[in-house]
Amino acid sequence: MNRQERRAKSPILSGPLWSNAARFGFPLALGMGMQTSFNLVDAYIIARLQGDVGSQGLAAIGICDQVSALGTIVSYGISIATGTLLSRRHGAGDEASVRAVAWQSSLILLAMSAAFALLAAFGSEFVMQDLIGAKGEMALVAGRYLQIMVGGSFTIFLLLHLTTILRALGSSKTPITFLVLGNVINLLLAVLFVYGPGEAPPVFSWGPPIARALGIPRLELLGAAWATVIARMVPLLPLIAIAAYRFKLFHRESRTLPHWPTVRQILRLAWPTSSQLVVRILGILLLISLVTRAYSSAEDQSSVTALGVVLRLETMVLFVSLGWGSAAQTFMGQNMGALQLRRAFNSGLLLSAYNFLMMAGFSVMCWFWGDRIVGFFDPHPAVVQTAHDYLRWVSPSYVGLGAGIVLGSAIQGAGATRLTLIIDLAVVLLVQLPLSLAVTTFLHFPPTALWQVMALTYVCFAVAYALIYRQGKFLRTRA
């Protein structure tokens, strides 16, 4: 099939851009958002544990989610680089290169999974207590939870990688369907493993009899970790089968030993992307560490608990934006591969606009109903008040955070991954880091000042990416 025939058959390369981009991007954004909503259900399940166990668990997962996200982000950088190469090669009709890149990138992630399993076995408690500064019983519980989540990182590494591969080749609905299926299974297993045969809230009263019949013990917070790891394994086999039979990937002729030129090409694109996303997560971990050290104690964890809830809400912004950003990456890469630079450029702007509308709605929801949402998880007045202050300052800036993510993904789709790293480093090092340290360590301002710094940081991300994208120089990048 020649280039004109591929262009005519592909909605990514031809047809009305506004409708084709919406049809491709909306399922990705919805699926990623639903994945986060199930994480909120996990938080609700843990928060309903009796006594301090629920509050400590809620605070622990708020911290651990961000720490374990470091590994996921590094792996996702490799997946993004893979998606960039695949979309460009697929747009150009080079299917042999598509198969080679898909297999070699999978080998990289398998090696990375082994490294993170070793890190989990020997370093979890050090990370929580010495690096993050977690205190009391919560620190011990969080260390054990983190050990399971990071030790099972291979499940999320491969799950996101396979969905990225399928999306880069033009399939947006199928991989998201399996992501949602995995999260439904996560919900069911979390009820069984967290509560076991013991007491459970009325809405989950069906769980204890089943757990009792199956001999499942009450694992509380650790049960949520095991449920997540197991549930992520379920969609892997069908996704591999789809990749193999629909897209002809991972066949015997493709399963070679590491091909170092291809590996180096993937890593050359991946390291700036991984580093950029790590910078984002380190910015959040800086926020958590400063709140833990400056505004909490072993006796009073209310500020950390509140932060754990609002950061889970904020993860919705990140994941929905990454969904639209994944669509932007695919449209950018395939259209550049087909030498349609104007359509590539316009696709990033359009998909960013779609995400802007969704983030505006989410910001309004957090502004007006944030108290009720947080109180649903933990009704303690100190927790609700802290979360209220955070959302009042930060939630309006979610439109900026989302716009920066989508435009950055489009730039990455063009192969200019170092550029996005430079932008994120500049914002975090020149804005967030110095201002955060100033208001907490030197000026000893109340937490509200720290929330204002976060809002300013998100706005700076949007302004920086908008200015860079408008210039369009990244369209000259070769991948």
SS3 per residue for the chain: CCHHHHHHHCCCCCCCHHHHHHHHHHHHHHHHHHHHHHHHHHHHHHHCCCCHHHHHHHHHHHHHHHHHHHHHHHHHHHHHHHHHHHHHHHHHCCHHHHHHHHHHHHHHHHHHHHHHHHHHHHHHHHHHHHHHCCCHHHHHHHHHHHHHHHHCHHHHHHHHHHHHHHHHCCCCHHHHHHHHHHHHHHHHHHHHHHHCCCCCCHHHCCHHHHHHHHCCCCCCHHHHHHHHHHHHHCCHHHHHHHHHHHCCCCCHHHCCCCCHHHHHHHHHHHHHHHHHHHHHHHHHHHHHHHHHHHCCCCCCCHHHHHHHHHHHHHHHHHHHHHHHHHHHHHHHHHHHHCCCHHHHHHHHHHHHHHHHHHHHHHHHHHHHHHHHHHHHHCCCHHHHHHHHHHHHHHHHHHHHHHHHHHHHHHHHHCCCHHHHHHHHHHHHHHHHHHHHHHHHHHCCCCHHHHHHHHHHHHHHHHHHHHHHHHHCHHHHCCC
User: Is 274 within 8 Å of 73 (Cβ atoms)?
Assistant: yes
CA dihedral 357, 359, 361, 366 (to 10 degrees): -170
Q: What is the pLDDT of residue 389?
A: 93
Ranges in the chain, pLDDT < 70? 1-9, 35, 37-39, 51-52, 55, 62, 132, 134-135, 172, 298-299, 477-479
CA distance 399 to 365: 13
Going 122 to 125 to 128 to 133, the CA torsion angle's sign is negative
Q: What is the pLDDT of residue 450?
A: 94
Instruction: Retrieve residue 182's tokens.
Output: 């995995």
CA distance 444 to 375: 28
pTM of the entire structure? 0.75
Q: What is the pLDDT of residue 388?
A: 92
Q: What is the pLDDT of residue 141?
A: 79
Q: What is the pLDDT of residue 304?
A: 82
Phi, psi of 234, deg, nearest 5: -60, -45
User: Is 66 within 8 Å of 145 (Cβ atoms)?
Assistant: no
Q: What is the pLDDT of residue 476?
A: 75
Going 214 to 146 to 58 to 278, the CA torsion angle's sign is negative
CB atoms within 10 A of CB 237: 10
Q: What is the pLDDT of residue 477?
A: 65
Instruction: Retrieve residue 137's tokens.
Output: 């019983």
Alpha-carbon separation of residue 16 from 203, 236, 334, 411, 413 (angstroms): 46, 34, 16, 22, 20
Burial of 472 (C-beta count, 10 Å sphere; 0-12/13-18/19+): middle
CB atoms within 10 A of CB 170: 17
Instruction: Retrieve residue 457's tokens.
Output: 């940081």
Q: What is the pLDDT of residue 172?
A: 66
Burial of 2 (C-beta count, 10 Å sphere; 0-12/13-18/19+): exposed
CA distance 40 to 47: 10
Q: How many residues does the chain have?
A: 479
Q: What is the pLDDT of residue 286?
A: 87
* Crossing angle of the two packed helices 302-337 and 260-294, in degrees rounded to 10: 160
Q: What is the pLDDT of residue 218?
A: 93
Q: What is the pLDDT of residue 38?
A: 63
Q: What is the pLDDT of residue 275?
A: 79
Amino acid at 269: L
CA distance 22 to 16: 10
